Amino acid sequence: MRQAFFGHGASRGSALGRARVRLPHALEVAEERISPAQVEAELARLHAAIETVRGEMHALRERLHGALAHEVGEFLDLHTLLLDDPELLHGLDELIRTGRYAADYALRLQRDRIASVFEAMDDAYFRSRVDDIDQVIGRIHAALHRRAGEMQGVAGEILITDNVAPAELAQLQTQGVLAIVTSAGSALSHSAILARSLHLPLVVGAAQALLKINDGDALTVDGSSGTVILEPNADDLRAHRSRVREHARERKQLHRLRREPTRTTDGVDIKLYANAESREDVAEAHALGAAGVGLYRTEFLFLQRNELPTEEEQFRAYRDVVLGMTGRSVTIRTLDLGADKADRTGLALRDEPNPALGLRGVRLSLARDGLLETQLRALLRASGYGPLRVLVPMVSSREEIRRVKRMLDQVAADLRHEGHEIAEHVPLGAMIEVPAAAIALPSFIGAIDFLSIGTNDLIQYLLAADRNNEALGELYTPLHPAVLRLIRDVIRLARARGKSVAVCGEMAGDPAFAPLLLALGLEEFSLHPATLLELRRAIRGMDLGALRARAPALLRARDRKAIEAWLRAN
């Protein structure tokens, strides 16, 4: 019998397939004891399963590249750290040795023990890490029973589940999943962002779907409207085919825009830069006609290794990016480890009470002797091969920028003395993602050459709302008057002082927000290559003068509804 379920469209696309239902993760394992003679064998079985999981995560990490490696890699790295956590491993061994529990039941007990500690914490960030614990424990449990994973044979199927972890998405798509429907989740979560990058249809918040849909049911999924149809009728099937044809036409139209200018209807050129972290990303940005690389992440050089990268290793990586853009500007961000990005070298702290507010970004670079100096030497050497800019993350004070600038000047003098060919001037920029930096900008804007607004963190810190916390889904939004006014103030000051300014967060890559940003004065966007052509098409249909004329009405908006009404009028 036909039924319709409604959630929130989180990743566009239309899918038709069979349902595969995955119930919320719960390790329902009956208590089972073993004899003393079985202890060593059971420990060996457990350790073999853990090694299997390590191998699976390493293999997945190796298959990923580009921006996807950055996004998914953060979660794989976190899961690897959990897998190596002494408390987890020691606790499992003790439950088997002392309690004489079977490995399956030991996993359940240890999972519940750790989860109860996390759930009791006041910090929402740590409470949200229970999902990561479940993912790791679930992988070990699957390996114990020699299953390659929970989701085998999913080709041509639509996954119905409570939630989906970012680290799962690439693997699910590789296995042939056509779309994903979740009962929880947010359209602004990491998983949703990744689904859009993968062009994998995703509907979130369809609570009834998990209760009413069964394995094997026929479904259509519309990732734009958030509609899921159970046992679709003839009209539903025609609508699905129509959406598929429309998406195909759209892709062809977008393909033709690769060499077209990003120019508004009233003749103003807007610059679209690409976010990147690999040669593949750089090649794609070049092919799509990006104005350059607006944000090149350097964390990948530091992750999944036991020693820090050398100056020579970093230099070659940065040089290749510059050469790959054939004269177009490349902006390289200095190291931004910390928060949910930890490395194996011990550089970033693993046990900070509140990682999102801890030793990360420029704070970490300045706190570790020689770390920033080595990176700046590599960056300046690469500047001899083409236009390069240095971007500093997580700036919160004037003194941080002054320290970086002094070091940059000293490193430049040292390199010239050593005979290296470097650019006469390497522009230095600051990321505006901490509200204090936006407010204190007049005190240090004279020390920098350009700005980049990181809206992901700026919104999170300004609104005190974790974007991955489902309970705060309505609060974490770019459509908040305080967010728009702060962005407007930064853009206005930058333009008044003759400094270029770009937005590089997820907000920049969503065509729906382009009218807002253009109205607020933005003329440079930096975004994932996957949505660059969509944004170009949207901007080519906008009248910049008309948007700017309506900016005062936008800034008078008192709440989200008023801002949404302003958007609908454009």
pLDDT of residue 24: 63
pLDDT of residue 147: 47
Instruction: Look up the CATH superfamily of 36-144.
Output: PtsI, HPr-binding domain (1.10.274.10)
Helix-strand-coil percent breakdown of the chain, rounded to 5?
50, 15, 35
What would the mean pLDDT of 502-520 be, rounded to a whole number? 94
Asked if 133 and 166 count as a contact pair (C-beta separation under 8 A), the reply is: no
Would you say residue 148 has pLDDT above 50?
A: no
Rg over CA atoms, the chain:
25
Q: Could you report the per-residue pLDDT of 149-171, keeping only the tens digit for each? A: 444 556 789 999 888 877 678 77
pLDDT of residue 85: 77
The fold of the 266-543 domain, in CATH, is: TIM Barrel (3.20.20)
How far is 142 from 139, CA to CA, in rounded Å? 5
Identify the CA nearest to 177 among candidates 221, 120, 141: 221
Q: Indicate the Cα dihedral angle 427, 433, 435, 439, nearest 10°.
A: 20
pLDDT of residue 62: 62
pLDDT of residue 57: 73
pLDDT of residue 491: 98
Degrees, nearest 5: CA angle 406-408-414: 105
Task: Look at residue 372 and give its three-state secondary structure.
Answer: helix
The fold of the 3-24+151-253 domain, in CATH, is: Glucose Oxidase; domain 1 (3.50.30)
Q: Could you report the per-residue pLDDT of 342-370, keeping only the tens digit for each? A: 555 566 655 566 666 778 899 999 998 89
Asked if 377 and 411 count as a contact pair (C-beta separation under 8 A), the reply is: yes
What is the share, in percent, of the chain residues with pLDDT greater than 90?
55
pTM value > 0.75: no
Q: Could you report the per-residue pLDDT of 8-51, keeping only the tens digit for each? A: 998 989 999 999 988 665 556 778 888 988 999 999 999 888 88
The ranges assigned to domains in the chain are 3-24+151-253, 36-144, 266-543
Would you say residue 379 has pLDDT above 50?
A: yes
Tokens of 369: 């002797």
What would the mean pLDDT of 420-431 be, rounded to a whole number? 97
The amino acid that residue 167 corresponds to is A
| Residues designated catalytic | 190, 504
Average pLDDT for the chain: 87
Beta bridge partners of 452: 431, 502
Same fold, 3-24+151-253 and 36-144: no
pLDDT of residue 333: 97
Identify the CA nearest to 15 among candidates 253, 235, 199: 199
Tokens of 487: 């962005």
Phi, psi of 453 (to 5 degrees): -90, 115
pLDDT of residue 446: 96
pLDDT of residue 9: 92
Identify the CA nearest to 395 among candidates 425, 364, 369: 364
Q: Could you report the per-residue pLDDT of 93-146, keeping only the tens digit for each? A: 989 998 899 988 888 888 888 778 766 665 555 555 666 777 788 778 777 875
pLDDT: which is higher, 125 or 417 = 417
The DSSP call for residue 508 is G
pLDDT of residue 337: 80
Please report the sign of the dihedral spanned by the C-alpha atoms of residue 300, residue 305, residue 308, residue 310.
Answer: negative
